[in-house]
Amino acid sequence: MKPAIFIHIQKTAGTSVQNIARHHYGNDQVCSHGAYLKLDLEACKKFQFISGHFGIKFAEPLLSDRYLFTFLRDPTDRIISLYKFLSRQPADQSVLAAAASSEDLKGFLMRANELEFAKRLWNNQAWQLHSGWVSAAVLPDLKRDLETDPRDIDPVAMIEGARQNLRRFDRIGFVESFDRDIRKIF
């Protein structure tokens, strides 16, 4: 199988994708979830399948000869799923989990202007496709420029940048048609 990069946007069937990748590539060839944060660029390149909550800017130096894909989800459904997921986590795990366990959905969403919430709520799918998170170990010189606050990016420019970057993907799947799309990917 061709080496691949999966940009995992939270609550878009990413764990299912990673389990399937482990079946196809083998467990020792899959770098997933936050494991990439502990690696430098050369170590990341050694994996056949790289996945994480990073953005397109993180993926760029790893793209040569790799199959690039992601899954998208209806934004409202994604946010509700994220809220439900976080509300089941221990409150001391993160500020988001604490808020989800102590506030109703409206109260949780009202915190979207806070930086940690903005990175997961405020136009999250577009932000990851526009730029998104990077790893200091992989891209130390670019971290400050690329790990932007999504609220500081003009929304029209963010959407346009995300649209432009979508053209770089080999496949874009949708949670709503996961079974069909995952078969095409693998």
Instruction: Spell out the alpha helix ranges (H) of the chain.
Output: 14-25, 41-45, 56-59, 75-87, 95-102, 105-109, 115-121, 124-130, 143-146, 155-166, 178-185
Question: pLDDT value at position 86?
Answer: 96
- CA–CA–CA angle 107, 109, 111 (5° rounding): 80
Q: Which two tokens stand for residue 159?
A: 């959407």
- Please tell us whether the domain made up of 4-74+123-185 is placed in CATH 3.40.50: yes
Which comes out higher in pLDDT, residue 136 or 19?
19
Share of the chain above pLDDT 90, in %: 63
pLDDT surpassing 50 at residue 144: no
| 171-174 β-sheet, strand order | 30-31, 49-52, 4-7, 67-72, 171-174
Q: How many beta carbons lie within 10 A of that of residue 184, not counting itself? A: 10
- Lowest average pLDDT, out of 5-14, 71-80, 114-123, 177-186, goes to 114-123
Confidence of residue 134 (pLDDT cuts 50, 70, 90): low
Confidence of residue 143 (pLDDT cuts 50, 70, 90): very low
What's the mean pLDDT in 2-22?
A: 95
Rounded Cα distance, 127 and 19, in Å: 25
Which comes out higher in pLDDT, residue 9 or 120?
9
Question: pLDDT value at position 48?
Answer: 97
Domain limits of the chain? 4-74+123-185
Question: pLDDT value at position 145?
Answer: 44
pLDDT surpassing 50 at residue 146: no
pLDDT surpassing 90 at residue 135: no
What's the mean pLDDT in 14-27?
A: 96
The DSSP secondary structure of 142-171, one letter per residue, reads THHHHS--GGGS-HHHHHHHHHHHHTT-SE
